[in-house]
Structure 1
Amino acid sequence: MDILLNVLKDKKIKEEITISGSKSESNRLLILQNLFPEITIENLSDSDDSIHMQHALSTKKEIVDIGHAGTAMRFLTSYFAVKEGRETVLTGSERMQNRPIEILVNALKDLGADISYEDKVGYPPIRIKGRKLIADNVQINGNVSSQYISSLLLIASKLENGLTIELVGEITSIPYINMTLSLLHQLNIEANFEGNIIKVLPKKEIEKQTVVVESDWSSASYFYSIVASAEIGSEIKLSAYKKESLQGDSCLAEIYQHFGVSTTFGENFINLKKEKASNKEVLEIDLRDAPDIAQTIAVTCFSEGISCNLTGLHTLKIKETDRLEALKEELTNLGASISVTNKSLRLEESVEINENISIKTYNDHRMAMAFAPLALRVPINILNAEVVTKSFQKFWDDMQQIGIKIDKL
């Protein structure tokens, strides 16, 4: 489905939106729930990724296809590796079969896992023969996707001797590692992270408990972008959020002050308000701990005519698409002057925005959602718009509620 977005007239926005539970938290908890059935989960994400995860965890079939769900691929690789007596072929979409998994597979093999490649070495599909893992320590580079590390942490307490992970070199995406550890702590699983060593003690069972998933902060980023481009005085209230968040993307509250957007925390909600004009100084920010919001920030800067230099983006090369090259192409078509490297993006101050440009989404949900707020500036087309369901089922409904007009092309 291709769509045309535009705003019929300038208006001051005042809306309330409820956002589904965090995909990152939900997918971690779904793995933990299957290892510890004593857990009940509330406010679970309704994203395609979490639906794929639930199906994969419930099916008895040998072949498990998780589509585009990268988190599911990483977390399930470790999960099936410890399912004694079960043999699983874990596969996904064409893009998923070109996203690397070798670093995680090698770490699991070091622990004694039986995993082999069905086709291309280092990439899905992979055949996993579940078995008891005896080894209790492993090394892995600290600058790889945090999902590899979290994948190991999620099964660590179920290993007979627990697990010690030594992170080698620079450590990136620490908030996502800390999110996993915080969820373990909520379940009274002993784990500590000191220096470059993470240690998780074994745990056979836990007490019955209910865990409430906080709403997704990366999903909130698109509303921050909308408020940044809206009239002064515009407000959007988002539920359900908390000030002491486990999610690294909660840094949005601080970053969007640059665009004149304030964040007020209430009881399980945040209120975003456009209070003043955007700061036109160059925005220089290292996003190594929150790379998923890079696309939104880049588009906001373009919309507001602000130069930016975003660094720490090396993991964006292996997402649903090469997000840096995708951003470069689409923003250039809109009239931007932009350059990218393997780990950074530089955008020059824009003068005008080309209208009625069709944005390719590359099967990447964040491309569709990051560019949608530009409709407050110019009419814009979004191709393959249904891709948003990967993480945000009712995104286009919420856009219409805010006042963005949507027509099918």
Structure 2
Amino acid sequence: MHITLQKSKTAKQSSIQITGSKSESNRLLLLKALYPEISLDNVSNSDDSQLMAKALASSSNIVDINHAGTAMRFLTAFFAVLEGREVVLTGSKRMKERPIKILVNALQDLGADISYVENEGFPPIKIKGKKLIKNKVSLKANVSSQYISALLLIASKLENGLELTLEGEVTSIPYIKMTLSLLDEIGVESSFINNTITVKPNTKTQKPKTLTVESDWSSASYYFSIVALSDVGTEITLSSYKENSLQGDSALIDIYKAFGVETVSYKNTITLKKVSENKEPKSFNLVNAPDIAQTIAVTCFALGIACDLTGLHTLKIKETDRLVALKVEIEKLGGKVDITNDSLYLHPSNSIKEMVSIATYHDHRMAMAFAPLALKTPIIIEDAMVVSKSYPTFWDDLKSVGFKITQ
């Protein structure tokens, strides 16, 4: 379904309740499967989290997780330790092009029984669950943090725990720390010293406890962009957010200060307020928050300012090659973008073409990142329901802040 966003203007004040973090939800859903005494509140209503929950509850010997990359990585580790269970883990055409070899190799080093069904290094994979005795493994540190988190999430169920050595410079540290913090919340002991993460085995029965998932900061990014593109004095309040968030994308608070957006925390809400105009060129290293690169690039394009984004090497293996996709779509709109393997440079531009049709590449973040442009010019978003992957109510929420949307 394509939708048209007419040129819009935001309400002066509005508020939105955002669904639970997909990152936290998927980690906690897996931990709940390992430790059934846990209960969860504010779980993400995203496609990815629903697919994760369904896969964990499935008794089938074929589990299809479609486009859900996090689920593919986490479930690879989960099924490897599920003794006596044999399963083929598969996904969409794009999922079969996304590498899994680094994680599979690490699990095999720990003794896991995993083989490739079609192409070496890629899903689908056949997993025979068994008890894993070995407890030492090394992994390149600059790979997707989801490989690292997948190992950490199952570590307490390994016979001897896990000692994971990360080789080289560690990227996406906030996501690793999120995983370790959630383990801590359920009573699993761990340490992260220099480049070694140790997780102790946990044989104790969990005490029943309820964990509340914080709302998703990546989803909040689109409202930071909207406020940055709105008039001074515009305010949007978002809930439910913690002041000391585990999510790396909470870096938005500092990043969007550079666009004149102030963030005020109160109880479990944040209020974003446009306090000034700032048209200076922007430069950000997003190695710890690559998922907000698309949002920031579009914000800068809409404001006509240059931006230099680095630390983006993981964007090439997402739902699409996000660097190429950004370049193609921004240049359709009249911008100019240079990309390398891990960076994006946006040249300043003074005009935006009207009624351009934005391709979304099966990527929820392409649809949502480009939506705020409607504050400057009418645009068309192709395959608009792709947003359900992480934020199913996105278009309704945009209408509630003043956007005019037609199918």
TM band (smaller chain)? over 0.9
Q: Shift in Å at residue 234 of structure 1?
A: 0.5
DSSP 3-state at the match of 2:287:
coil
Partner of residue 111, structure 1 = 110
DSSP 3-state at the match of 1:259:
coil
Q: Shift in Å at residue 331 of structure 1?
A: 0.3
Q: Shift in Å at residue 12 of structure 1?
A: 4.5
DSSP 3-state at the match of 1:276:
coil
Partner of residue 260, structure 1 = 260
Structure 2 counterparts to residues 389-408 of structure 1, below 5 A: 389-408=388-407
Partner of residue 131, structure 2 = 132
Structure 2 counterparts to residues 368-383 of structure 1, below 5 A: 368-383=367-382
Partner of residue 21, structure 1 = 20
Q: Which amino acid aligns with 1:102?
A: K
Structure 2 counterparts to residues 195-234 of structure 1, below 5 A: 195-204=194-203, 205-234=205-234
Q: Which amino acid aligns with 2:71?
A: A
Partner of residue 248, structure 1 = 248
Question: TM-score with structure 2 length normalisation?
Answer: 0.99
Partner of residue 318, structure 1 = 317
Q: Shift in Å at residue 13 of structure 1?
A: 2.8
Whole-angstrom CA distance in 2 between matches of 1:145 and 1:306: 30
Matched residue pairs, number? 406
Ranges in structure 2 where 5+ consecutive residues have no aligned partner:
none
8 Å CA contact 2:249–2:291 kept in 1: the answer is yes
- Counterpart check, 1:51 vs 2:69: no
Q: Which amino acid aligns with 1:6?
A: Q
Whole-angstrom CA distance in 2 between matches of 1:317 and 1:210: 37
Identity fraction in percent: 61
Partner of residue 193, structure 1 = 192
Whole-angstrom CA distance in 2 between matches of 1:139 and 1:265: 40
Distance 1:214 1:11, change over 3 A: closer
Partner of residue 270, structure 1 = 270
Whole-angstrom CA distance in 1 between matches of 2:85 and 2:312: 37
Give CA-to-partner distance per residue, 1:21-71, whole Å, 9 cap, x none.
Answer: 000000000000000011000000000000000110011000000010000
- Counterpart check, 1:362 vs 2:361: yes
Q: Shift in Å at residue 337 of structure 1?
A: 1.1
Q: Shift in Å at residue 7 of structure 1?
A: 3.2
Alpha carbon RMSD of aligned pairs, Å? 0.7
Q: Shift in Å at residue 305 of structure 1?
A: 1.3
DSSP 3-state at the match of 2:406:
strand
Partner of residue 40, structure 1 = 39
Q: Which amino acid aligns with 1:234?
A: T
Q: Which amino acid aligns with 2:93?
A: E
Question: TM-score with structure 1 length normalisation?
Answer: 0.98
Partner of residue 142, structure 1 = 141
Which runs of 4 or more aligned residues in structure 1 lie more than 2 Å from their structure 2 counterparts after TM superposition? 10-13
Q: Which amino acid aligns with 1:311?
A: T
Q: Shift in Å at residue 11 of structure 1?
A: 5.3
Whole-angstrom CA distance in 1 between matches of 2:325 and 2:38: 40
Whole-angstrom CA distance in 2 between matches of 1:387 and 1:335: 24
Q: Which amino acid aligns with 1:341?
A: T
Whole-angstrom CA distance in 1 between matches of 2:367 and 2:305: 21
Partner of residue 181, structure 1 = 180
Whole-angstrom CA distance in 2 between matches of 1:245 and 1:343: 26
